[in-house]
Structure 1
Amino acid sequence: MASLSGLKQQLLLDGEVVYFHPELGRPVFQKVLQRERSRSVSANAPRLTYVVFDILVDGDRDMRKLPYIERHHRLKEVAANVPGLLIADLFLDGEALWDWAEERGWEGIVMKRLASPYREGKKHRDWYKKKIAIQMEATAVAFIIREGRVASLVLSDEERNYIGRASLGLNERNKRLLLQYAGDHHTDNAVWHPLHSDLRKERLAWLSEPLKVQVTFLEWSQDGMMRHPKLVSIEGV
């Protein structure tokens, strides 16, 4: 990233590229995927920020064995005020931070022991991520039909990207009404060619008039799929 040229020395940092939605005021992972999928970067491409969590190497100095609170202090010294970089804040009141994140629809919070060294991987107890269920509006463009019944809803985002299937939250009444809806609003025009591998073996009923739904899920996967989606409401059902 061009912003890293603003650093005055060689550093090894741990961070993540994030898109902050100007209206929502929080990260939107789908916009990062949209940027990654683009073959070229236009002037209208989402503007990304590199959020820095930790510092591993500072020049010739290995920082990984130092306590996290010391590493964070050094990180602010060497990387503060660099355009395009954002250093993750350190909060000592975890409950207040959780309430703040939950109220604003953030994905969750990460808790770290202040005295912990830097550890790679997830097989340790020094860092812990507590997730908040994300809720968003999606579009049901098709139903998965099994044994003559609606088994799942096939969902897309506002850019018509496939983001997963959802069955949790469906009850028998929903399934009956949705099957009738599929019969009344059937089309042979598939939204995607070719189909995502997740859908190729399924019997799909495509909808001429897709339905808006509210869905909650834990997080986005690296390939842009919702993890553990659950339907909250279905427009008109």
Structure 2
Amino acid sequence: MARAQARSKSSKLTSSVARTARAGVPDPSSTPGAHRAAIPDLINVELAVLEKAAPAGGIFLHEIKFDGYRMLARVQNERCRLITRRNQDWTARFPEIASSFPELAVGEAVFDGEIVKLNGEGISSFSALQEALSNGQTADLVYVAFDLLFLNGFDLRKVALEERKRILADILGSAPPTIRKSEHRIGGGEAFFAQACKLKLEGIISKRRSSTYSGTRSSDWLKVKCVNTEEFVIVGYTEPQRSRTGFGALLVGYYTPNGEIRYAGKVGTGYSREFLEGFKRRLQAIQTETPTAVLPKGTYMRARVHWVRPRYLAQVTFTEWTRDNILRHPSFLGLREDKDPREVVVDRPPAPLPPKKGARPS
């Protein structure tokens, strides 16, 4: 009974991926803010600012924060290209999704969304997505569309978000099951966030209803997390112990505003045997004798460390930051090959904490 009730609540909240009943493609020529323009080769995506709580009132609308790959879907000349935020073409990785977009009743368009792997209750999992990709099992993956940037010769990025979403809903009314629309709720952000956390979702995204699409990180989009997940630069690894093969743990860090990488800890769990063995070879190819990260004062490496050049990003979940700004109980979720390590800065790097009472100054 309890499980059935949980599934019912989950389906209501994760109707964020429900398909609408409306169909058809509006003419954008009379839409306020729309103007004629060709689709540019490079489109910068909108990014969210981290907040501790969902905004109150009706100025914002709220959506589920999906845990997948951010992807622009560019539909032109009866074919679709799937482009990462680094402007990489990943069409070949998701053939079923790419082949679904030309079924939509649009001549040309650019959609913004997330490619995800959903479980039976409509909840996304990044580790499950990584496993599906590794095994070549991409038929069940879904593109969750949450924005529309271009449509049939018109640039919609200066159109208010709420109107862009209305047009998006019209287009996706008859979409194939591999393409779904991210539903939203106007107002009630605090309750929406509480329900998301109760269902063990990653969090929510709150977006200003009147906002345009600037292609930057701004307070028009806010993210509020239920769990601590971050992307960290991989800076090294340790040797395996006992029966483990490959490597023991990944050393991770994050870029500071002055451009240096600050060490954030060792991540020793969350790996499959196949990943341990396969990724070790990739790490060996980029080893360096020079330490890649700056260690916090008083931090020493007990195990032998192999430093590597900052080429790869790891998505990591953890319980909290320690007083020394080191991750507590981190676990590996997957690689983020869709992002450039230099673009990633921890959303809110922890400020150094004052010493405990009675502690001697260092």
Which band: TM-score by shorter chain? 0.5 to 0.7
What residue is the counterpart of 2:197 in the other structure? 102
1:115 lines up with 2:210 in the alignment:
yes
What residue is the counterpart of 1:75 in the other structure? 168
1:7 lines up with 2:104 in the alignment:
yes
Separation of aligned partners in 1, 2:199 and 2:272: 21
Separation of aligned partners in 2, 1:89 and 1:4: 19
Separation of aligned partners in 1, 2:273 and 2:100: 28
**Shift of residue 80, structure 1, vs aligned partner:** 2.4
Separation of aligned partners in 2, 1:161 and 1:46: 22
- CA separation of 1:116/1:191 partners in 2, compared to 1, >3 Å: closer, same or farther? closer
| 4+ long deviations beyond 2 Å | 31-38, 140-144, 156-162, 190-204, 222-225, 227-232
Q: Is the 8 A contact 1:32 1:46 kept in 2?
A: no
2:316 pairs with 223, 226, 230, which one?
226
Separation of aligned partners in 2, 1:87 and 1:130: 20
Q: How does 1:1-237 map to 2 (within 5 A)?
A: 1-9=98-106, 10-22=108-120, 25-38=122-135, 41=136, 44-45=137-138, 47-83=140-176, 84-92=178-186, 93-122=188-217, 124-133=218-227, 142=248, 152=266, 154-157=268-271, 161=275, 193-194=280-281, 196=283, 203=303, 223-226=313-316, 228=318, 230-231=328-329
Identity %, equivalent residues: 21
Could you tell me which runs of 5 or more consecutive residues in structure 2 were left unpaired when the two chains were aligned. Answer: 1-97, 230-240, 251-264, 290-300, 305-311, 319-326, 331-362
Tell me how large the CA RMSD over aligned residues is.
3.5
**Shift of residue 161, structure 1, vs aligned partner:** 3.6
Separation of aligned partners in 1, 2:210 and 2:151: 19
Higher relative contact order (CA 8 A, sep 6+): 2
Q: Is the 8 A contact 1:3 1:85 kept in 2?
A: yes
TM-score normalized by the length of structure 2: 0.41
Question: Aligned AA for 1:156?
Answer: G
**Which structure has more strand as a fraction of its residues?**
1
Paired residues, number: 174
Separation of aligned partners in 2, 1:37 and 1:223: 17
- CA separation of 1:159/1:2 partners in 2, compared to 1, >3 Å: closer, same or farther? farther
